[in-house]
Amino acid sequence: MYSDKKSILQLAALLEAHGVTKVVLCPGSRNAPIVHTLSTHPAFTCYSVTDERSAGYFALGLALNGGNPAAVCCTSGTALLNLHPVVAEAYYQQVPLIVISADRPAAWIGQMDGQTLPQPGVFQSLVKKSVNLPEIHNEEDEWYCNRLINEALLETNHRGKGPVHINIPISEPLFQFTSESLPKVRTITRYQGLNVYDREYNGLLERLNKYHRRMIVVGQMNLIYLFEKKHTKLLYKHFAWLTEHIGNQTIPGIPVKNFDAALYAMSEEKQVQMTPELLITYGGHLVSRRLKQFLRKNPPKEHWHVSSDGEVVDLYGSLTTIIEMEPFEFLEKIAVFLDNQTPEYPRVWENYCKTIPEPQFPYSEMAAVGALMRSLPPTCALHLANSSVIRYAQLYAIPSTVEVCCNRGTSGIEGSLSTAVGYAASSDKLNFVAIGDLSFFYDMNALWNAAIRPNLRILLLNNGGGEIFHTLRGLDMSGTSHKFITAVHQTSARGWAEERGFCYLRADDEAGLIEAMEQFTSPEPTERPLLLEVFTNKNKDARILKEYYHQLKQK
């Protein structure tokens, strides 16, 4: 029988799955549940060493003999500090040593409780990875715990070998050994620099070809990559390709971009039918919360993430495989090995999303963004600010030749305008910025800049506050909280724009928007930068947007 602590069961099961079989166990009470579980499981060869200093070096010797990771487990408090010398030795000798430390719950650290000190991160830069496991109370805790252990164990052999630290807070009671077996756990694997002659590569291709419902989701990519036609034809038909405007030209063929609205319109039964068996991802961040929820609720059988850094990125909670390669190199490598069958799954996604029409909004913030998107010159740069604007833009199609930029690293409103101004300063294209009022006024000093050129054109959506907050389900903004949450204001950018040398345009209704947009998006060069300020009513904007999504549900 094993410990009833789920974090310990996850640890034991993943140590076994990652091939860690040699463990040095030091005495103690706080680590007793770990010691009992590992020492009674047949997968592990355990060694008892009382002195932690000696135990650490003993484990180092085990790891040196064969090159496979070995673990050393200690109790809480100063016992862990006694392992510091061997951790330093393992780091500089590049030995895959796993330090497992039991700990008291965080609430008791620094409260004069026995054998307590701040253990997470104690080895600082001398370990390749340090993780502090959560105590598991729900499914999300268990997913997080599983991910952290996978991350740590993968790092022992990632880009050179070295030590890692896994810290495990354990609450009392400590000695309940009621689990009859270890759980089935999700094991993340990593492939580095795949070679067509590797057995591992062939195994990956076999797994790839056994699935019929295959999806590739592409996040933000700040570049353009032109696939060769031979690869485009081979790749495109085999996958449902989903991306957003910020993915730019990094997909072989024509991707599905209106999937967010399509997911909103889908019934739960339809979503289950549309779930991929295999999900492959590359690129950075995604805007769509609905896609994240869809894939978390309906997890694929496998999720492969392809990136040049090989980091563990488990956005959908179902990551199984990391492929450490340039995504385009990986795609071109697998293209010629895909089976000859043409699966129906990609066409199902494409055909369904074609039934979602591009919206036609009455005068509103959304209509202003739509007017801009439909009028953009074919060769320009479009800068989308957080947070409503980036979502509105996704409702409309744009030419594939338009370059799209957005600060989605942290998705904050600060700096959107300054980034666009800096980009335009060294660009030979027209640069259009679509930005909301809070983002603009927060970053208005971006216009206090001598490097601004006439190729900059700013569409400012001003409805007197943070419109996006009106659409958040479950947020009651009655009473005094309303003005604080939405940052209500009555400010115009006209004076500041004209002071900074901009040609100022204004729209207050549909006719004014049409007239101003024609001048604003003209491809002809101008002597001064332009700023078009569109005034709308935030309550009306919120109502129009809700009505649009409501009618999607009626499809």
Query: In terms of Cα–Cα distance, which of 513, 528, 399, 381 is closest to 460?
Result: 513
Q: Are residues 84 and 108 in the same domain?
A: yes
Last residue of a domain, one of 328, 354, 380: 354
Q: What average pLDDT does range 179-190 have in this prediction?
A: 95
Q: Residue 260: in which H helix or E strand, if any?
A: helix 259-265
Residue range 375-398: average pLDDT? 95
183 lies in some domain: no
Q: Specify whether the CB–CB gap between 548 and 261 falls below 8 A.
A: no
Residue 342 domain flag:
yes
Q: Domain holding 119: CATH number?
A: 3.40.50.970
Mean pLDDT over residues 312-325, rounded? 96
Instruction: Tell me if 301 is assigned to some domain.
Output: yes
**How many angstroms separate the CA atoms of 464 and 89, rounded?**
60
Residue type present at position 102: A
Residue 488 and residue 413 share a domain = yes
* pLDDT (tens digit per residue) in 492-521: 999 999 999 999 999 999 999 999 999 999
Q: Which has more pLDDT, 483 or 350?
A: 350
Q: Does this model's pTM top 0.85?
A: yes
Mean pLDDT of 524-548: 95
Q: What is the mean pLDDT of residues 320-327?
A: 96
CB atoms near residue 289 (< 10 Å):
11
Q: What is the pLDDT of residue 470?
A: 52
- Tell me: do 396 and 526 sit in the same domain: yes
Q: What is the CATH number of the domain that holds 283?
A: 3.40.50.1220
Whether residue 300 lies inside any domain: the answer is yes
- DSSP letters, 80-145, are HHTTHHHHHHHHHHT--EEEEEEE--GGGTTTT-TT----TTTTGGGSSEEEEPPPPSSHHHHHHH
Closest CA to 356 of 394, 316, 320: 394
- Which one-letter amino acid corresponds to residue 494? R
Q: How many CB atoms lie within 10 A of CB 140?
A: 11
| Residues contacting 133, CB < 8 A, separation 6+ | 7, 10, 11, 145, 148, 149, 166, 167, 168, 169
Beta bridge partners of 503: 530
The pLDDT tens digits for 20-56 are 999 999 999 999 999 999 999 999 999 999 999 999 9
Token pair belonging to 374: 């439909």
The verdict on 541 and 396 lying in the same domain is yes
* 409-431 residues labelled b (16+ CB within 10 A) or e (exposed): eeeebebbbbbbbebbeebeebb
Note whether 370 and 350 are same-domain residues: no
Least confident of 154-163, 266-275, 288-297, 406-415: 406-415
Q: Are residues 466 and 503 in the same domain?
A: yes
Q: Are 183 and 10 in contact (CB under 8 A)?
A: yes
| pLDDT for residue 408 is more than 70 | yes
Same domain, 152 and 200: no
pLDDT given at position 353: 96
Closest CA relative to residue 101, chosen from 115, 119, 116: 119
Contact between residue 460 and residue 531 where contact means Cβ atoms under 8 Å apart: yes
Whether residues 204 and 288 share a domain: the answer is: yes
User: For residue 466, what pLDDT is reported?
Assistant: 63
SS3 content of the chain, % helix, strand, coil (to 5): 40, 15, 45
> Is residue 438 in a domain?
yes
Q: Does residue 471 have a pLDDT over 60? A: no
User: Has residue 1 been placed in a domain?
Assistant: no
Supply the range of the domain harboring residue 371.
Answer: 365-553
Is residue 347 located within the same domain as residue 383?
A: no
Tally of domains in the chain: 3
The per-residue pLDDT for range 43-102, each reduced to its tens digit, is 999 999 999 999 999 999 999 998 999 999 999 999 999 999 999 999 999 999 999 999
Looking at the fold, whether 391 and 529 belong to one and the same domain comes out as yes
Name the burial class of residue 465, with classes exposed (0-12), middle (13-18) and buried (19+) by CB atoms within 10 angstroms of its CB.
Answer: buried
534 found inside a domain: yes
Write down the mean pLDDT value for the chain. Answer: 93
Q: Do 265 and 386 lie in a common domain? A: no
- Residue 521's pLDDT is 98
383 and 513 co-located in one domain: yes
Residue 177 belongs to some domain of the structure = no
What are the residues whose beta carbons fall under 8 Å from the beta carbon of 319, sequence distance 6 or more? 147, 186, 188, 303, 305, 312, 313
Residue 472 has pLDDT above 60, yes or no: no
Please check whether residue 451 is in contact with residue 435, taking contact to mean a CB–CB distance below 8 angstroms.
no
